[in-house]
Structure 1
Amino acid sequence: MVPSGPPAPAFVRMAAHPLRWRLLTELSTGDYRVRELVELLGHPQNLVSYHLRLLRGSGLVTSHRSSFDARDSYYHLDLERCADALAAAGVALHPALRLDPAPPSAADVRPVRARVLFACTGNSARSPVAEALLRHRTGGHVEVTSGGSHPKPDMHPNAVLVLREQYGIDIGDQRPRHLDTVTVHRFDRLISLCDKVREVRHEFSDHSRLIHWSIPDPAGGGYPVFSQMAAEIDTRIRYLLPVLAKNQEAQP
């Protein structure tokens, strides 16, 4: 008889299942809809949905309705919560296995020469904020630009204000660009931040290096909504940095 003892940490129990581990692995690269995860994993939709519900219940995965087609939902892996859970699991096993759950900063990652395109609809808030933050976090070592499928005449004033006040970045003189003016170039990563762009621009679906970050449009909200949007994008960018560095090192 095996003596009883403390149960394994919740993260270990949740991630130990092979299908849930694969879901975590796929969602670590970007946000997906259920049918896309079904296709990636090759399992029935009811089974995938069941394990997604368990992951949502654990708090590791969140979901929200597509801003373009409300019949669909995007699932997102909370990498910061994962980092905290992994750190707690290490300590539960042995005090010496304490991990630093903080996301990497630009100082922790070797400079990379990568080309990244951020895409959204208006190119007045989400994508220019992402462009500015990635350039800022990498000290200009990453070649980054952004564009919109239906660009607005000007940058949203709250996007300009949040970047200036909270990050010391000024994009006041920048003007929204059309995606068609920038997609003629080759990019190592094409990151869509708008559900509509991803679902309408079908050529994006076939892009082998497409990442989707399902970021709600902040345009209908005030300064706090834009501040929350920028913080979420900044967190995702900090977790993107080691991925870019690893991929560049792997290239011949």
Structure 2
Amino acid sequence: MPADASRPPLPGAVLFACNFNRVRSPMAEALMKRALGNRVYVDSCGLKREAGDAGHGADPFVRSVMAEISCDLESHAPKTFDDLEDASFDLVISLTPEAQHRAVEMTRGRSAEIEYWPTFDPTLTDGSREARMAAYREVRDSLAQRIAERFPR
């Protein structure tokens, strides 16, 4: 089936950014890699590290809800904008207002696109484990839907 000429071309490199790179941005990175494989380079980062974050990886609830859809985030290592080896992204997708400001600074003077996808922080959910898992699943599913709409195959 020929490609739809009305669809914009896929960007070569996409960065997802949030506050700590432990919840929303690693979810989005893994979901996009799952959807598009290696057709697009995808990375994620956060603004800063959580206190005592050395080697803690993705949030445990993130690892659980992503494992439900066969996305393994066990080896995810949180990184910041400063840890990026290369800042040459065609598209930076910010998932928090704070990350949006940093993305604008990072791309100043470059031809990168910036998009803001406001995304709920599921770590703010209280209650039982199942209530918290439901909040994480909702974020996972909304990111997957947004990625599918923005980057149709």
Instruction: Name the TM tier (shorter chain).
Output: 0.7 to 0.9
Within the alignment, does 1:115 sit opposite 2:13 as a pair?
yes
Query: In structure 1, which of residues 166, 187, 210 is the aligned counterpart of residue 89 of structure 2?
Result: 187
1:158 matched residue in structure 2: 61
Which of 117, 130, 137 is 2:28 aligned to? 130
Alignment partner of 1:171 is 2:69:
no
Q: Tell me, in whole angstroms, the C-alpha distance in 1 between the residues paired with 2:124 and 2:74.
A: 20
Give, as a single letter, the amino acid of the residue that structure 2 aligns with 1:174: H
Do structure 1's residue 196 and structure 2's residue 98 form an aligned pair? yes
Tell whether the 8 Å contact from 1:147 to 1:177 is kept in structure 2 after alignment.
yes
Q: 1:120 to 1:113 in 2, by over 3 A?
A: closer
TM-score by length of 1: 0.48
Contact 1:198 1:204 in 2 (8 A): no
**Which one-letter code corresponds to 2:76 in the other structure?**
Q
Tell whether the 8 Å contact from 2:92 to 2:113 is kept in structure 1 after alignment. yes
Amino acid in structure 2 at the alignment position of 1:162: V
Computing the radius of gyration over CA atoms, which structure comes out larger, 1 or 2?
A: 1
RMSD: 2.4
Q: Secondary structure at the match of 1:239?
A: helix
1:241 aligns with 2:145: no
Query: What does 1:49-88 align with in structure 2 at a 5 Å threshold?
Result: none
Unaligned stretches of 5+ in structure 2?
1-6, 126-131
Structure 1 counterpart of 2:121, from 192, 199, 217: 217
Compute the displacement of 1:195 (Å): 1.5
2:42 is aligned, of 125, 139, 144, to: 144
* Structure 2 partner of 1:228: 138
Which structure has more relative contact order (CA 8 Å, sep 6+)? It is 2
Aligned residues: 133
| Moved >4 Å (runs of 4+) | 204-208
Larger relative helix fraction: 1
Identity percentage over the alignment?
28
Give TM-score, length-normalised by structure 2.
0.77
What is the CA-CA distance between 1:140 and the residue it aligns to?
2.4
Structure 1: gaps spanning 5 or more residues = 1-108, 246-252
Question: Is the 2:94–2:103 Cα contact (8 Å) retained in structure 1?
Answer: no
Cα distance in 2 for residues equivalent to 1:212 and 1:132: 18
